[in-house]
Amino acid sequence: MSKQPRAQDTVEPFDGFPPQTLKFLKALGFHQSREWFQDNRDIYLSAFKQPLENYVAAASEACRKAKLSLRGDPRRATFRLHRDVRFSKDKSPYKTNGGAVLTRTGGKGSPGIVYTHISPDGGFFAAGFYHPEPPQLLAFRRAIAARPQRFAALEKKLKNKRLELTDREALLRNPRDFKDVHERVAHAVRFKNFLVRRPYGNDLLQDGSGLLKAVTIFAKDALPLLQFGWDVLGEELVTE
């Protein structure tokens, strides 16, 4: 498990992503070939990989200062551009967007994330629990059904911060064993994900302090959802 950066640890200043970051991702969309990628590997390293790792380290430190139980290991918390095409009709070898997470353990394997998405088409932050495993999803549904007022209060807190749980991929009907839940949370037991998101303008990418402030505010705003999930799942389900 990676260590949370300490106050005396040196975190490289984060001045934002260079303009070449989005230009590289956009060009990658037109040049979906390993040959082009290798020819432009230096740009990939300087304009994408290294700035993304620097961002994760700086965001981790910003969360520490804000007393948020979130951190990111620069190498384990970032997503690769290489696509897994084994089971996909789209055989394009590379993604055209970047992303990284902050979690309680610093890597991608811990439930409860704050995710930063970087794309020429527009960026966004997301937080919550994406595709929880069946036992975890069942735990969420049971907790919601058992204490509907608590979950309704959680949704109100999120809405006060202009955040709303996504119903993407939600079931059309209540799952079996959840037919008679309180009407205020009937929609919630149909969720397959428990996520909120907030878009940001791509001009923010070049404003290092502004981006760090924005992700920290978003993490604070989404904290009730994260805390709810952590409480439901328990420490024994936090794996790396």
Confidence of residue 85 (pLDDT cuts 50, 70, 90): low
Task: Write the CATH number of the domain with boundaries 20-234.
Answer: 3.30.930
**Buried-state track 92-119, b at ≥16 Cβ within 10 A, e below 16:** eebbbbbbbbbbbbbbbebbbbbbbbbb
At residue 89, the pLDDT reads 73
Q: What is the CA radius of gyration of the chain?
A: 19
This prediction has a pTM of 0.89
Does 175 have pLDDT greater than 80?
yes
What integer pLDDT is reported at residue 91 of this predicted model? 77
- Residue 99 pLDDT greater than 60, yes or no: yes
Q: Which of 40, 71, 36, 74 minimizes the C-alpha distance to 55?
A: 74
d(CA 106, CA 73): 5
Mean pLDDT over 201-224 rounds to 96
pLDDT of residue 12: 76
Q: How many alpha carbons fall within 13 Å on the CB side of residue 47?
A: 17
Structure tokens at 163: 């955040």
The residue ranges of every structural domain in the chain are: 20-234
pLDDT digits (tens, 9 = 90+) for 221-240: 999 999 999 999 984 444 43
pLDDT of 7: 42
pLDDT, residue 10, reads: 65
pLDDT score recorded for residue 2:
45
CA distances from 207 to 34, 101, 213 (A): 31, 19, 10
> pLDDT tens digits, residue range 35-61?
999 999 999 999 999 999 999 999 999
CA–CA distance, 110 with 137 (Å, rounded to integer): 15
For residue 126, list its beta bridge partners: 115, 197
Give pLDDT tens digits for 134-174: 999 999 999 999 999 999 999 999 999 999 999 989 999 99
Q: Residue 109's pLDDT is what?
A: 85
